[in-house]
Amino acid sequence: MSNTEPSVFTKIVAREIPAEIVFENDSVIAIRDIAPKAPVHLLVVPKTQQYRNVAELAAGDPALLAEVVAVAQSLADEHTDGEFRLVFNTGESAGQTVFHVHAHVMGTNAPGITLTEGTLVE
């Protein structure tokens, strides 16, 4: 994807493709992941497509990065048991498939289920 082509997240913000939106304000949107890797798997996405990864976001707009993290914490408080993973994949070999920076919030809300080594343990 070039930075001139709208990312899937930009299309979600524009309501061109559907998504289950769990939070939205002027600068950030949060949605449920369509291929969850945990019982709770949310994506927190800056609405701007200007930054491809978290390193670019940190250098270019640290306040927006702080907002993404704050929204992630708030959503984790609301949707998980309070313990969660906050992950930014940076680069294709690290698992990044959409080059529009986004945070993965992964956790559980069920007793006896934990996340470990990227898999669910019951």
Q: Which residues are catalytic?
A: 102
Output the DSSP codes for 77-106.
Answer: HHHSSS-EEEE---SGGGT--S-S--EEEE
Can you give the length of the chain in residues? 122
Cα separation, 103 vs 90, in Å, equals 10
What does DSSP assign to residue 61? -
